[in-house]
Structure 1
Amino acid sequence: MTRINGNSIYIRTFKADDAEELLDLQLTNRDFFEKFSTNRDSDFYTLEGQKKRIQEYAKGWELDQQYMFGIFTMDNDALIGTINLFEVLRGSLQGAFIGYFLDKEQNGKGFMTEAVKLVVTYAFNQLQLHRVEAGVMPHNIGSIRVLEKAGFHREGIAVKNVKINGKWEDHQVLAIINLND
């Protein structure tokens, strides 16, 4: 199990017994998260579906394709969100995309900025990536601010590049470069 400590939160890989807490996070925030996410499978909001996803996360980790972490509070070990590196590209690119969700009740407390910084440090130091990229719907100002506070810079708008809830959405592209490689 990989665990990385921050000041007020820590991130770690998911274990099989996290499935119930992960399902609760998803159910509690369903309407909030679905505004920003792609269509979800029919079993997504079931305990078995979450157990299956945790297994898929572990497999993605082993294959160097994606790195999924839970975001937990230091004070009470509560799961408050998820953050991942996905579509890991090797060869001459050495990059990945970052994605995340945070419990709507935890927004505005600095937790996600801290989690993004922890994951970027992991991406650059452990995975030896050169670039981490994010795509955010332009109206999601809070998420753009999180990324900018974590050191990402704006690169432009990707027009109609992600289908969310049946509609092709524009995304603000942001990235951070590993200046130490």
Structure 2
Amino acid sequence: KCHSEYFDKLRTHFLCNASVSPSAAQMSETESTQLFESGKVAMIYTGSWMASAFHTNEYTKDKVDVAYLPKGKENTSVIHGLGNVIAANTKHPKEAWEFVKYLGSKEAAEIQASKGAAIPAFNGTQDTWVKSMPNFNLQIFIDQAANAKAYPISKDTAKWAKLETEYMTKAWAGQMSVEDAAKELAQKMNELLAQE
């Protein structure tokens, strides 16, 4: 509840002080995480996978924290996971299968979690990850996962993802309004999806 009030004030500040964010050109020249880790920007939108990098960075490890995403009509976020696979042409299928089974075990999840690598998928091991970096409020990621929606994909995700980058870059650069960019992007994405 207090977070939504904070973001309302923050949004008002940004709207009233248009120069508080680097330009789209500046952001394309330097990764947002590099700007954040050097103190050049005060806030970025990124995922749980960056926690360990921020935890080991001299500037960010004791100066930053995690905040809930601003709430819109729904309190939600996007989530996806990673999987381990075996090459179909492996010369060692039995050994590969044993290794993949181990990677999916509780023991492996606890190791991954204790090192802060990523949120483990094995139920009951997430708390170890949260405690691995006590200077960050990582519980927020676990809380938001409960209301998360699957990362959108389709047969040809790369085609419409490229359009998303193209149109959103124009919006961020002020070449199109966000509303126009979103409308055109939706139309072109729907056309591509209909062709799949």
Q: Indicate whether the TM-score tops 0.5.
A: no
TM range (shorter): under 0.3
> Higher helix proportion, which one?
2
Structure holding more strand per residue: 1
TM-score, L = length of structure 1: 0.27
